[in-house]
Structure 1
């Protein structure tokens, strides 16, 4: 074997080894690129899922917030309607007149008078516009005097310094009791619940 043949064999072997290394390198590079592409795809998919979760959470929060706001607005509107109805009822109660007003005033005064049996002086307060009515009604009660007018829809507030008792039998207090006792039913009728 000549030196040239040995050199050529070494070169062939080196080329074959270089080709093998290059081929392994390309394979490894393809594996790395393929793995990187899979990782990139996984990262992209996870980012999309996370973005979708974030969007869904924000959507749910905004929807929940909008529902809460709508519910609050609905409650405020209902409250306003109930207040309007209450104002209308108060206006109608204040407008009661004639025999009906006299009868109601007597009934409320009779109910209060029981608390003041034995008292020498009892003061009866009522609406300024009812002064004449109250003066007439009080003629039937011994020891009952007309006091200063009070702000009310009608009826009477009765008190005695001797017993330190005050009975509020105004239309306002009666209306308040009836209103409180029937608030749920009033709401149900107004809003057909």
Structure 2
């Protein structure tokens, strides 16, 4: 499944993230982020990796009940602050095989996700081929590659994030991000 996240969802690697006032189903998804380095359209598989500038750690945070409101998941994936990533860009040449990286996520020090990018549904090359068939990717665009098992919403019973929780996502060879959950501030339109 492909979906877009709004630019306003971007947050820094150590920023606070907001649990929305409209839902208690706030969840985490540790993922590898692929940063595009060259403008590209109609990419062939054999040239796909040359389009990649490098890699980051992403927490593709999700509001599960809102995610199901539309077939593309955009609503539940795009709340403000729900796309923290970083901590820096690790260039393509520094990661010999992005499909062989250990990825782990902790909530309050408890290991919740322990997977490997080898388990991704789509290889990066296949993602780039399919997406650029439909539209142009620009330098700086970030593709999130999917999450391993262990998200809170699929636990029995579900274990969603609450204010005070600290989520740490770490990918071997790239680094980690860590974000504290806070209540969404009461703001009015500006």
TM-score of the pair, normalised by structure 1: 0.21
Q: Which has the higher strand share?
A: 2
Greater helix fraction, Structure 1 or Structure 2: 1
Answer with 1 or 2: which has the greater Rg.
1
Q: Which has the higher contact order (CA 8 A, sep 6+)?
A: 2
| TM-score normalised over the length of structure 2 | 0.21
